[in-house]
Amino acid sequence: MANLLEALGSRIVVGDGAVAAYLYAEGVPLGRSFEGMNLTDPDRVSAAHRIYLEAGAEVIATNSFAANRACLRRHGLEEKVSEINWKAAKLALGEVGKSGAWVVGTMGPSGIPQAEWGGAKEVEELFRKQAGALLDGGVHAILLQSFSDPKELSVAMEAVRELHHLPILALLAAGREGTLPEGKSWEETTRKLRDAGAEVIGVAPAFGPSACEGLMKRISSGPDQLLAAYPDAGQPEFSEGRYLYANHPDYFAQRMAELPALGVNLLGGGSGVSPAHIRALKAKVSGLKPTTQVRVAVEPKREAIQISHGAGQPKREESILDRLKKERIAVVELDSPRGLDMGPFFKAAEELVKAGATALTLADNSLAILRVANTA
């Protein structure tokens, strides 16, 4: 079998979507342990892997995202950590067979808030037990997926590295504004992850593929640095008792196909990314090559506002009321940003003015969500 890292260095490789989310879409209720199905309903898990392979996925993630002791405790399965993860690896490998696809052992966050940690060693042991079972099962690499806290991700990496030197794919989750906890820099965070031994660095945003481009531009990359993107299909909607994703496969594929130009080598998906999404993505990126251009991430700068104290009164501009007496006007509401990066907000304002907006209004505390103050 070809080496996964060598393949990523020479071409675009397509991964799969989240198996648990696929099983949910197929009717498995949320209250059930999706990872526990490795033992109770293995044929159904195998079928999920098979359909992603048939759609064109070359990297198959094991059904083990929440198969650590803390997460399994919610279902009374905490004593079956090793059994569930070992079986997850075997089910995926059984479907891959001689296809040439790779199996990555998936590990998600511990599910324990950092404030409740009994210490990093306790959480590290939790990850170590899960990783050990996946490695015993024969996975080709470890996928640390959707970690919103870089510290917890580093703890998970350390646990894996103590056991084996298989490739580690480390994916960071980010909020809607693309921020990391405590205002940490993306460039510094990803540099530390690489120094700690992550062969592939990437993002797994929860708000769809459109969030990937901005995040990837913040990650420092060079010719020998491999990048991955595994976004969810988009924002789910709750309809008739179920969470549904309305993101069309063609749109998903189109946005994801923009990422190889930024150096992204591995393209996959998370929740809501169905086999149809992967099939469309595979067709869209077939033949594309990742760029080898060195790119330096630049964190957004917050420039101080310069206030003029010159003499004299400023010339009075025509007010909106004056204009209303002469012509029709267009007033557009624009929500202030949720984070401190004001660049996209000002760009949106400029585009609205170019499109014909006469004035912009800012709602007070729009949707009761914390935002930059309108008077800032």
Q: What is the pLDDT of residues 256-311, one digit of tens each?
A: 999 999 999 999 999 999 999 999 999 999 988 877 654 544 555 545 445 455 55
Report pLDDT digits (tens) over 48-71: 999 999 999 999 999 999 999 999
pLDDT at 169: 98
What is the 3-class SS of the chain, one letter each residue? CCCHHHHHHHCCEEECCCHHHHHHHCCCCCCCCCCCHHHHCHHHHHHHHHHHHHHCCCEEECCCCCCCHHHHHCCCCHHHHHHHHHHHHHHHHHHHCCCCCEEEEEECCCCCCHHHCCCHHHHHHHHHHHHHHHHHHCCCEEEEEEECCHHHHHHHHHHHHCCCCCCEEEEECCCCCCCCHHHCCHHHHHHHHHHCCCCEEEECCCCCHHHHHHHHCCCCECCCCEEEECCCCCCCEEECCEEECCCCHHHHHHHHCCHHHHCEEEECCCCCCCHHHHHHHHHHHCCCCCCCCCECCCCCCCCCCCCCCCCCCCCCCCCHHHHHHHCCCCEEECCCCCCCCCHHHHHHHHHHHHCCCCEEECCCCHHHCCCCCCCC
Average pLDDT, the chain: 87
Instruction: Kindly state the average pLDDT of the residues 110-134.
Output: 91
> Is 15's pLDDT higher than 90?
yes
Nearest 5°: the CA angle 243, 249, 255 is 110
Report pLDDT digits (tens) over 206-218: 889 999 998 998 8
**Cβ–Cβ < 8 Å for 269, 277:** yes
Classified by CATH at the fold level, domain 8-285 comes out as TIM Barrel (3.20.20)
Q: Which of 126, 113, 62 is nearest to 91 (CA)?
A: 62
pLDDT at 376: 60
Dist. CA 26–CA 158, nearest whole Å: 36
> Is 19's pLDDT higher than 80?
yes
Per-residue confidence band for 182, with pLDDT thresholds at 50, 70 and 90:
confident
Domain boundaries, the chain: 8-285, 320-368
User: Environment class of residue 208 by beta-carbon count within 10 Å: exposed (0-12), middle (13-18) or buried (19+)?
Assistant: buried
**Between 87 and 121, whose confidence is greater?**
87
